[in-house]
A and B are shown apart, each in its own frame.
Chain A
Amino acid sequence: MNVLGINYFFHDSTACIVKDGKLVVAIEEERLSRSKHTGAFPEKAITRCLETAGMEASDIDHVAVSIKPDKDWQKKVLYGMRHLSHAKPFIKHELLNAYYKQRGLRDWYEKTWGSSAARPTLHFVPHHLSHAAGTFLVSPFESAAILSLDGSGEWSTSFLGMGRGSEVTRFNESFFPMSLGSFYEAATEFCGFRPNYDEGKTMGLAPMGDPERFHKEVSGLVGVGEDGRILIDLSYFNYQFWGYRRCGRKFHETFGKPRRAPGDFEQHHLDVAAAFQRVLEDRALEMCRLLEKKTGARKLVIAGGVSLNSVMNGRIVRESGFDDIYVMPAAGDNGTAIGAAYYVYNCVLGQPRDFVHDDPFIGNRYSDSEIEAVLRECKLNAEYHEDIESVGAALLQEGQILGWHQGAMEIGPRALGNRSILANPTLPGMKDKINAEVKHREAYRPFAPSAIAEARTTYFEDLGDSPFMLKVPDVLPEARDKLPAVTHVDGSARLQTVHKETNPRYHRLISRFGELSGVPVVLNTSFNIMGEPIVESPVDAIRCFFSTGLDTLIIGNYVIRK
């Protein structure tokens, strides 16, 4: 039985195929269309998924869509009618946008299957159910509490529930405009970044500010009710009216002038980011404690765009009282394609649960012959090395910045070692060098370490395994001098633990580097420049290589130098 999962309604359009319960491929549309976080219908991704899985459209039995557009429609209508002074953006955002999105789905469906008798069944799965149930169903836990948080999906903004076997129960749901995701987006806008896009930058900025300065004010903006519902003082915001500005007049009166990008940061911008980050963590923790009390569960799965906030996840691991947490690698809207597919497979079709999503390398891959063809076409001189890991490790030890393009592409927003830029984390100036010469981005932004799983506790606080770079532990005090390029100003690091079972080549590279440098950790950042999606093909990698300050590019077993 083959289920095609698709997400296309908001952003991060994605397609995936679940074959007899196994996730065989998942690809984000942005990697193919080269438009970051695109919400366009993922036609290219669907086609590529079918090719990678070796299937035809006629092989698909079910299509799972991670949106149920008619869910909560009455709430939307009444909300729109109550706020007639903002009728225009409401109609544009909620009615016209929804119409065009659904038309895209209908056109693709008709074009692909027409009046064929073998048309697959179309299932519409609510957005938060796709996040929450989907993440639980592919987690390693038999039972777990479930927390899903994001800006909004249909009309809901959070999901608190419990998963047991193939059953998912919902305890509480919050609705727009009471949204923790939108609350945090306002801080992103205030700091001069793009809301609903650059929240990671706000998270990275937060450790540079003083969270206490505005803590009282920010804390008063958001609360969590006894039943887990989110409460926001909307008088500080504008996001509830779908405007271009998230922050309201009162917000600016309270916190000061917003940063005008690309102007320099002032202290109050850093302090606001710090306070919003702290309060987001506090509220998420309150919800986790409520869940723990209500469910008695020892495990927790977190889903939704807010769960990409790896600093928040780190605090949840430390303070929530749960023994273990699971966040899927594509925890944002891209993962809802996978979530919807598994919800249909396990909950609608009643198939047993027997898959754990612990391998993020499920995109398409390029063979040696395909790489050679590209190199020939580009007239590039490349060296072939059988032991490419040793070559890469030696280059890293020399202080070179490498483009590293290997095997199957990873799903999710983090480069996890197959489409990565790698460097030596022991060199103090490396962070500034990559930010300025390669990534062309803000100087403060930190880089993540990839460490072999065996060495995790030698260098980092023990928050458990972190294979998808979604937890932020502290770097141990004695290791901070050894890892200056990946230790953030507050002593933390967004760690990725690398396992030889899921990515043997990357594991070998880091091990070889460890033999040379004494530290089995490399600096790992996504293989792209600011504003672009991560590279997908060898051609994308070559283009990025020659337009940045990368020293050497390694594609498969081929080394390309400048």
Chain B
Amino acid sequence: MPAPRKTSSNTAVTALMLLSPPLLYPVFYLVCLIQDTVLGDRLIIDHLRYVARRDLLELFLRDWAAALPVSYLVAVPVLGLAVLIVRRGIAGVCTSLAVPSLAVAAMLSATVLDINALPVLATSAAVFILLPCWVLSRC
């Protein structure tokens, strides 16, 4: 019989499940912004520069609120799987495989296939999954 988990670890998992999903949209937006500014057509940065801050904040909050249900829907199974991986002690293996794979996929899609959306989505997902897993492994 495996030993019961520590209460502090269970609290961390619960906190992770509840607090991480709201971060998904800002992470995604930030990665979009970086990608569009560095590699893309600078559409977002033009928009940000041209529109009043109050209007932008209002729109951002509306979109963030709309993204929340989707974020929870996506995050709970994905993070659940990530937690399982961390607890099985194979996080290091997964990370060392996943990060280079994502990087290669991103580079390929961006340069060979000229698909800029994939790196953005992949990077967002990577940041979103790996960061909480790293935090969790420290608990």
Contact = CB atoms under 8 A, between A and B. Distances in A.
B47 A85 contact: no
Nearest to B113: A74
Contacts of A178: 43, 46-47
B120 A85 contact: no
A349 interface: no
Contact of A82 (B32, B46, B50, B116): B32
Contacts of A105: none
Given A178-B46, A235-B51, 20 more contacts: A74-B115, A77-B117, A78-B32, A78-B117, A82-B28, A82-B32, A82-B63, A84-B67, A84-B70, A175-B41, A175-B43, A178-B43, A178-B47, A225-B46, A229-B46, A231-B46, A232-B50, A233-B50, A233-B52, A234-B51
Contacts of A87: 66
Interface residues on B, range: 20 to 34
Contacts, number: 57
A82 B26 CA distance: 9
Interface string A106-121: 0000000000000000
B62 interface: yes
A103 interface: no
Interface string A231-258: 1111100000000000000100000000
Give the interface SS of chain A, mostly helix, strand, loop or mixed.
helix
Contacts of B72: none
A552 B46 CA distance: 57
B70 A231 contact: no
Interface in B97-117: 115-117
A82 B28 CA distance: 8
7 contacts: A74-B115, A78-B116, A81-B28, A82-B63, A85-B65, A233-B51, A234-B50
Interface string A80-95: 0111110100000000
Given A84-B70, A175-B41, A178-B43, A235 B52 contact: yes
Interface in B64-96: 65-67, 70
Interface in A211-244: 223, 225, 229, 231-235
Contacts of B32: 78, 82
Contact of B66 (A73, A85, A175): A85
Give the interface SS of chain B, mostly helix, strand, loop or mixed.
helix
A84 B64 CA distance: 8
A250 B50 contact: no
A84 B66 contact: yes
Contact of A231 (B29, B50, B117, B118): B50
Interface in B24-42: 25, 28-29, 32, 36, 40-41
A225 B41 CA distance: 13
B118 to A, nearest CB: 8
Contacts of A84: 25, 63, 66-67, 70
Nearest to A225: B46
Contacts of B51: 233-235
Nearest to A241: B59
Nearest to B36: A78
A250 B43 CA distance: 22
A223 B25 CA distance: 30
Interface of B: 25, 28-29, 32, 36, 40-41, 43-44, 46-47, 50-52, 55-56, 59, 62-63, 65-67, 70, 115-118, 120
Highest count of chain B CB atoms <10 Å: which of A81, A223, A231:
A81
Contacts of A232: 50
A77 B124 CA distance: 14
B36 to A, nearest CB: 8
A73 B114 CA distance: 11
Contacts of A223: 50
A75 B39 CA distance: 12
Contacts of B28: 81-82
A85 B63 CA distance: 5
Contacts of B56: 235
A521 B43 CA distance: 49
A231 B40 CA distance: 16
A235 B32 CA distance: 20
A74 B47 CA distance: 18
Contacts of B70: 84
A250 B120 contact: no
A168 B41 CA distance: 21
Contacts of B66: 84-85, 87
Contacts of A77: 117
B67 A74 contact: no
Contacts of B50: 223, 231-234
Interface in A145-179: 175, 178
Nearest to B61: A85
Among all A-B residue pairs, the 7 with the closest Cβ atoms: A74-B117, A235-B55, A85-B66, A84-B66, A85-B62, A84-B67, A235-B51
A250 B63 contact: no
Contacts of A81: 28
Nearest to B28: A81
A74 B55 contact: no
A217 to B, nearest CB: 13
Given A74-B116, A178-B46, A234-B47, A83 B55 contact: no
A131 to B, nearest CB: 19
Nearest to B51: A235
A84 to B, nearest CB: 4
B55 A250 contact: yes
Contacts of B115: 74
B44 to A, nearest CB: 8
B43 A83 contact: no
A77 B115 CA distance: 11
Contacts of B65: 85
B20 to A, nearest CB: 17
Highest count of chain A CB atoms <10 Å: which of B25, B50, B115:
B50
Contacts of B117: 73-75, 77-78
Highest count of chain B CB atoms <10 Å: which of A74, A229, A234:
A74
Interface string A498-539: 000000000000000000000000000000000000000000
